[in-house]
Chain A
Amino acid sequence: MFQKPTIIGKAAVIEAIPEHPALKAILAWKPEALTDAKLDRDELTLTIAPEEIRAAAATVQAAGYNFMDDLTAVDWFPSSPRFQVSYHILSHTYKEYIRLRVLLDDANPSVASITPVWPSANYYEREVFDLMGIRFEGHPNLRRIMMPDDWVGHPLRKDYPVEGYR
């Protein structure tokens, strides 16, 4: 199957798809909030500075990306920055997904909650907090959702022991 070449880097992606509505909206709002970009396998990934994610979410929402489809995190232990939070946003108008992501350091990972923009992020952020240990500032009720309330540790982290007694 023919695959389009991967385009990596902010400048290269802006050059390749300057008319993309989400990219255009973010550049019009605050170009420095976009730290990196990637166009891989027809999927656009925009890396956002962690402190700007809530405003960036509101920006793409206003640009027509109206549905928060998925929110999750990836642990890149032992590399640094260790955590990646991925937001998959769907547009009912343009009929496509975009991926926003933020990169977080190992020490006390924390990022602003996007529940003010999409209330549907509530359970997803609780799940990421529970299983990955990333805190979402401004979340209305950041409790564990899958594991018992008094559980120790965050099971989806790569350094979580998978066998033996903990």
Chain B
Amino acid sequence: MAELIGTPILEVPAAEGAKDQHMVINMGPQHPATHGVLRLVLEIDGEIIVRLYPEVGYLHTGIEKTCEAKFYQQVVPLTDRINYLDPLSNNLCYCLAVEKLLGLEAPEKAKWLRVLLVELSRLNSHLIWLGTHAMDIGALTVFLYTFREREDILRLFEAVAGQRMMTSYFRIGGLSMEPPLDFLDRVQAFINTFPEKIDEYANLLTGNPIFRNRLMGVGYLSAADAIALGVTGPPMRASGVDFDLRRDMPYSGYEKFKFNVPISTGGDCWARYEVRLLEMRESVKIIQQALDGMPEGPVKADAPKIVLPDREKMKTQMEALIHHFKIVTEGFEVPAGEVYQGIEAGHGQTGYYVVSDGTAKPHRVHMRYPSFATLQALETMCQGRMLADVVAIIGSIDIVLGEIDR
């Protein structure tokens, strides 16, 4: 018999001083405004939220367990599937963690391309957020506009990785291959027009009285609550906490880029909207700097026992063929130890905790994903608000259920 522990969710005793008219309703798991399969159990008094319980786990696929059965390099494609809106950040975080374990450093050009692509990935993530958030509130037009630009970004991803969404482009020790020759020009063409597109979204939304009324003063989260509840990324900065891992604990060469970290002290949904729009403008700046200063050189580290050789070398050099065979069939051994690598992804701080026992397969991989922690703050933000505000608040914290459930 299974061990039941805790209180089943629908039998939670009513809140202190609850009156008979309190009602418990279910929102989700199939609800268009929950951005996936999130189930919310709401205790409401009329239309006012008294309590709220998020119930997650519908997408749990045991990715952490799967990682333990794979070679280190085989884990990279699994990481894409966690946060499918910001795939390259996942790749980057995992690769940096394993590189730290190995004591390996990616070459300079690989680092710059990583920064460029991660920022594109952040734009991708923010565009989806903006489109779906506005759509939840009733502004359907913006969705079509943001997905138009997202399509351009996905085409860029396809150009480098051959895949639109599940890129797996970063490898341990660099990138999987050189980007195509015209890639940087294509990025430049995209960046040239993109700031105007952000203005276009802002024109549609910032002055829109319905959008303003639905967001302003809704879902307030104080800075102290944001830290206590583990909220990171744009929602944390919208509450006035000035911290960004890209600036404060730079990784992958971010210390060479100049950018501002947008902060707002509003703490409400409107502040989160403003912070993310400004972040998109900052990402454009970073991409421009990456394009201007892109160094020359290889995109793979010189570590033949870890990095797969080029196809060309495999056909001409015996050693390359042997290394390829060894890496594919046996993997590579990673020195024992444990590392934690945090990066600033589109939704907030992502962290990979990789524990090695000295073999070719990780002993334990744990992923810290921002949405999982941010969801804990949902009740604080929703309490005392109207039922319809829940939709606006979920949109504003920008959760991805893939990274909550893993």
Q: Which residues of A contact B (CB under 8 A)?
A: 1, 3, 6, 40-41, 43, 45, 66-70, 72, 74-75, 86, 88, 90, 92, 95-97, 99, 118-120, 122-124, 129, 131, 141-152, 155-156, 162
Q: How far is the CA of A144 from the CA of B8 in the complex (A)?
A: 10
Contact A1 B103 (CB under 8 A): yes
Stretch of B17-25, B147-155, B159-167, B361-369 with 4 or more beta carbons under 8 angstroms from chain A: B361-369
Q: How far is the CA of A41 from the CA of B60 in the complex (A)?
A: 32
Assuming A66-B227, A96-B249, is B339 touching A72 (CB within 8 A)?
Answer: no
Assuming A74-B355, A92-B243, is B230 touching A43 (CB within 8 A)?
Answer: no
Contact B65 A155 (CB under 8 A): yes
Q: Which residues of B contact A (CB under 8 A)?
A: 2-9, 56-57, 60, 62, 64-65, 69, 100-101, 103-105, 227-230, 241, 243, 248-249, 337-340, 342, 349, 351, 353, 355, 363-364, 366, 368, 372-373, 375-376, 405-406
Q: How far is the CA of A74 from the CA of B241 in the complex (A)?
A: 31
Contact A123 B6 (CB under 8 A): no
Contact B229 A41 (CB under 8 A): no
* B103: A residues at CB distance < 8 A: 1, 3, 41
Contact B340 A43 (CB under 8 A): yes
Assuming A88-B351, A141-B7, A155-B65, is B366 touching A70 (CB within 8 A)?
Answer: yes
| Smallest beta-carbon distance B331→chain A, Å | 18
Contact B104 A1 (CB under 8 A): yes
Q: How far is the CA of A9 from the CA of B385 in the complex (A)?
A: 52
> 11 more A-B contacts (CB under 8 A) besides A146-B57, A149-B8?
A1-B103, A43-B339, A67-B227, A69-B349, A72-B364, A74-B363, A86-B353, A88-B351, A120-B229, A120-B230, A141-B6
Contact B337 A97 (CB under 8 A): no
Q: How far is the CA of A129 from the CA of B5 in the complex (A)?
A: 10
Contact with A97, one of B64, B105, B340, B405 (Cβ below 8 angstroms): B340
Contact A122 B6 (CB under 8 A): no
Q: How many A-B residue pairs have CB under 8 A?
A: 112
Q: How far is the CA of A88 from the CA of B248 in the complex (A)?
A: 17
| Smallest beta-carbon distance A104→chain B, Å | 15
Q: How far is the CA of A36 from the CA of B156 in the complex (A)?
A: 49
* A95: B residues at CB distance < 8 A: 248-249
Q: How far is the CA of A70 from the CA of B62 in the complex (A)?
A: 18
Contact A146 B405 (CB under 8 A): yes
Q: How far is the CA of A88 from the CA of B349 in the complex (A)?
A: 13
Contact A41 B368 (CB under 8 A): no
Pull 20 A–B residue pairs with CB atoms less than 8 Å apart, ordered by A.
A1-B104, A1-B105, A3-B103, A41-B339, A69-B342, A69-B368, A70-B353, A72-B353, A74-B338, A74-B364, A88-B351, A92-B241, A92-B248, A118-B228, A118-B230, A120-B376, A129-B5, A144-B5, A146-B60, A151-B2
Contact A145 B65 (CB under 8 A): no
Q: How far is the CA of A120 from the CA of B227 in the complex (A)?
A: 8
Contact B351 A145 (CB under 8 A): no
Contact with A86, one of B2, B4, B8, B338 (Cβ below 8 angstroms): B338
Q: Which residue of B lies closest to A86 (CB)?
A: B353
Q: How far is the CA of A90 from the CA of B353 in the complex (A)?
A: 14
Between A97, A123, A124, A142, the greatest number of chain B beta carbons within 10 A of the residue's beta carbon is seen for: A123
Q: How far is the CA of A65 from the CA of B194 in the complex (A)?
A: 39
Q: How far is the CA of A126 from the CA of B56 in the complex (A)?
A: 12
| Smallest beta-carbon distance B96→chain A, Å | 12
Q: How far is the CA of A149 from the CA of B124 in the complex (A)?
A: 36
* A41: B residues at CB distance < 8 A: 100-101, 103, 337, 339
Contact A162 B405 (CB under 8 A): no
Q: How far is the CA of A92 from the CA of B56 in the complex (A)?
A: 29
Q: How far is the CA of A141 from the CA of B9 in the complex (A)?
A: 10
Contact with A143, one of B7, B101, B376 (Cβ below 8 angstroms): B7
Q: How far is the CA of A74 from the CA of B227 in the complex (A)?
A: 25
| Smallest beta-carbon distance A92→chain B, Å | 5
* B342: A residues at CB distance < 8 A: 69, 90, 97
Q: Which residue of B lies closest to A96 (CB)?
A: B249
* B375: A residues at CB distance < 8 A: 123
Q: How far is the CA of A37 from the CA of B267 in the complex (A)?
A: 39
Q: How far is the CA of A95 from the CA of B2 in the complex (A)?
A: 44
Ranked nearest first, the 4 interchain pairs of A and B with the lowest CB-CB distance are A120-B230, A143-B6, A70-B368, A72-B366
* A45: B residues at CB distance < 8 A: 338
Assuming A70-B340, A70-B368, A90-B342, is B104 touching A156 (CB within 8 A)?
Answer: no
Q: Which residue of A lies closest to B9 (CB)?
A: A143
* A162: B residues at CB distance < 8 A: 65, 69
| Smallest beta-carbon distance B29→chain A, Å | 13
Q: Which residue of A lies closest to B349 (CB)?
A: A69
Q: How far is the CA of A149 from the CA of B373 in the complex (A)?
A: 21
Assuming A72-B353, A88-B351, is B65 touching A147 (CB within 8 A)?
Answer: no
Q: Which residue of A lies closest to B53 (CB)?
A: A141
Q: How far is the CA of A45 from the CA of B353 in the complex (A)?
A: 13
* A67: B residues at CB distance < 8 A: 227, 230
Q: Which residue of A lies closest to B231 (CB)?
A: A120
| Smallest beta-carbon distance A50→chain B, Å | 18
